[in-house]
Amino acid sequence: SRARSHMPQYPGLEQYQLLEKMGDGAFSVVYKAIDTHTQQYRAIKVVSKTRLTHTQRAAVLKEAAIMRQLDHENIVKMYAFLESDERYFIVLELVSGGELFHQIVRLTYFSEDLSRHVIVQVAHAVRHLHEVAGVVHRDIKPENLLYAPTDFVPSKKRVFRAGDDSSKEDEGEFIPGKGAGGIGVVKLADFGLSKIIWDNKTMTPCGTVGYTAPEIVKDERYSKSVDMWALGCVLYTVLCGFPPFYDESIEVLTHKVAKGQYTFLSPWWDDISTSAKDLVSKLLTVDPEKRLTIDEFLQHPWVTQDGTVPVVES
């Protein structure tokens, strides 16, 4: 087609046919592509090496190394990492709905049920990162949350298996045109700022624990809590349609964040449940030690209230 003929063809990426541009970043362009060997659709993040410093190149390699270790339903999968003289190519699972950000703009805000449907999936990604992979994401925001479009409405029942990391949502219904805001599976993307905090094999902090200084140990603890703060910002935003902290002046904004100065602004928050507000406030807590952990989040009444009778299958 005409559009295809305008797509670049990069040396080193012969296996893939680029179809259309999906996203633009400071150092990267993301394309929808097809794997010509398997006919499977992919998203490919193309990073131009020429404008990158040594440190930035190392960061791209780290992004790929971290993604390679991750295998979870709510985390964008990396299929391959390719490299030519001039570029890096990160071959990713295509998440065809695009950014959650655009759904917020389209719908203005989400119902509490839709917000729960979305945020619980993000939380499952975060739990996998924090407790299984030993990774902190550090850039959770609606632009980095992608979704598969669907008319699937999540059911009231969620089945938990004992000793299983994943919960299974296997009962729901399809209501054409009246689906879960068009949002099906939600996936966390963009590991460009992510960091490994735990040794993957031993499940202990990296290095010799006994000799690690308190500020290092604390740093690792605090680093998980930055994702929980971000989760609180995302939850606030999907519930009301605007972010908890905003100011045109970066100085004023920084001050507001540092002090945790946000409000449940009337009239937008008037009809939102006290339980939802309680959860938001426990995430947007300035002291990282008092902020909810991912497990505490998943046990909060607003999260579990959806009729969830935790059915434990043995």
Q: Is residue 100 part of the contact set for ligand ADP (CB under 6 A)? A: no
Residues 132-171: x where in contact with Mg ion by CB under 5 A, - otherwise, as a string: ------------x---------------------------
Residues 165-204: x where in contact with Mg ion by CB under 5 A, - otherwise, as a string: -------------------------x--------------
Q: How many residues bind ligand ADP (CB under 6 A)?
A: 20
| Binding region for ligand ADP (CB under 6 A) out of 78-86, 110-118, 188-196, 249-257 | 188-196
**Environment class of 257 (CB within 10 Å of its CB; exposed 0-12, middle 13-18, buried 19+):** middle
CA torsion sign for 89, 95, 99, 105 is positive
The answer on whether 190 is annotated among ligand-binding residues is yes
Separation CA 63–CA 117 (nearest Å): 28
Q: Is residue 99 part of the contact set for Mg ion (CB under 5 A)? A: no
Count of all residues that appear for the chain in the document: 314
Residue the block writes with tokens 């003929």:
5
Q: Spot the catalytic one: 35, 113, 139, 306.
A: 139
CA distances from 245 to 41, 144, 154, 250, 260 (A): 37, 18, 30, 11, 8
Give the residue at shortest CB distance from ligand ADP. 25
Give catalytic status of residue 170 as yes or no: no
Specify which residues 17 forms β-bridges with.
Answer: 34
Q: Is residue 76 part of the contact set for ligand ADP (CB under 6 A)? A: yes
Choose which of 8, 25, 301, 310 interacts with ligand ADP (CB under 6 A): 25
Residues 131-150: x where in contact with ligand ADP by CB under 6 A, - otherwise, as a string: ------------xx-x----
- Of 112, 124, 113, residue with least CA distance to 294: 124
Separation CA 284–CA 239 (nearest Å): 14
The answer on whether 277 is annotated among ligand-binding residues is no
Cβ closer to Mg ion: 144 or 237? 144
87-93 vs 40-48, strand pairing mode: antiparallel
Cβ closer to Mg ion: 32 or 116? 32
Q: Is residue 74 part of the contact set for Mg ion (CB under 5 A)? A: no
The answer on whether 74 is annotated among ligand-binding residues is no
The letter for the amino acid at 214 is P
Q: How many residues bind Mg ion (CB under 5 A)?
A: 2
Name the minimum Å distance from CB 98 to ligand ADP.
6
Core vs surface per residue 62-86: b (16+ CB within 10 A) or e: bbbebbeebebebbbbbbebbeeee
Q: Is residue 44 part of the contact set for ligand ADP (CB under 6 A)? A: no
Q: Are 76 and 137 contacting, i.e. CB atoms less than 8 angstroms apart?
A: no
Name the minimum Å distance from CB 83 to Mg ion.
21
Q: Is 90 helix (H, G, I), strand (E, B) or coil?
A: strand
The letter for the amino acid at 185 is V
Q: Is residue 188 part of the contact set for ligand ADP (CB under 6 A)? A: no
Q: Residues with catalytic annotation?
A: 139
Point out which residues bind ligand ADP (CB under 6 A). 22-23, 25, 28, 30, 43, 45, 76, 92-95, 98-99, 143-144, 146, 189-190, 192
- Binding-site positions for ATP read 45, 143-144, 190
